[in-house]
Amino acid sequence: MSEFTYTITAEDKDLAIKQILRQRFQFSARMRNKIKREKLVYLNGEQIPGWITAKPGDVLEIRLPEETSDFIPEDIPIRTVYEDSSLLIINKQPGIVVHPTKGHPQHTLANGIMKEMLDRGQSFKIRFMNRLDMDTSGIVAVAKNSHCQASFMKQSQAGLVEKRYLAIVKGLVKEDQGTISLPIGQPDPERVERAVVEGGSPSVTHYQVLDRFRAGYSLVELSLETGRTHQIRVHRAAIGHPVVSDHLYGESNPFLIERQALHARKLAMLHPVTGEPVSFEAELPEDMANLLEKLR
């Protein structure tokens, strides 16, 4: 269960606990109502109503409602990068879908997380804060409560979330760094492919070349200002440097690697509970590491 604590200060001495809850915590009105309804407010370890006042030095503790998910538990390896009572950060392996869909109702990351949760005797609702394509590896962040998910969304909208990716792309990219600003849309609603289209959603990708290889490939680091579906893949293909083995966007090369050579390397944000900056990194998977060795 996630817990939030706050030490009462001299400035709080005339405030009721419910006022402190509203002013000192970033909970939504909906969450505050849940906390009140389920009596999850504690002062110095004792459950209390919201109308009383506290004295400086008292410790206010807010517990969030217990929830759980109902995904079918499956024995799928979960590579944990970081975990606390509010966040679960995973290094997703390639070839696995993040959550169940019509096409992939089982055998997903969510099913693996569900089994690990039950095995540990934990209970939380699995809320994905970001998504990766099936064949993209790297950082996937899970919020263990709605407050953390809402905080992440607010931070994303305010430009406070940093996402960095590594991609091996076809061709020798001339510029050491640059920005791709091209609108992305879905030409055919019946197909998964996206494309650069007039009137599409504004989409911005920044890139920096980390290495170039004589065989005619480049290693680039990318960061996103926007988070459109397939954004990196569409933008790289649009400028003539598609991600290696990205068959959906015209670059199939299974002799080099069997999936698109794209990895979500880093995620940085403010921790939803402490407000402190946190940064998470995922090791490059074996197939991309092997490809880089070949190219070098």
From 14, 84, 119, 133, active-site residue: 133
Q: How far apart are CA 125 and CA 104, in angstroms?
A: 20
75 catalytic, yes or no? no
Alpha carbons within 13 A on the beta-carbon side of 12:
22
**What are the beta bridge partners of residue 73?**
none
d(CA 249, CA 179): 20
Pick from 181, 183, 193: which is nearest to 133 by CA?
Answer: 193
Residue 49, CB half-sphere, CA atoms under 13 Å: how many? 2
Query: Taking the C-alpha atoms of 168, 169, 173 and 175 in order, what is their torsion angle to the nearest 10 degrees?
Result: -60
Question: Which positions are catalytic?
Answer: 133
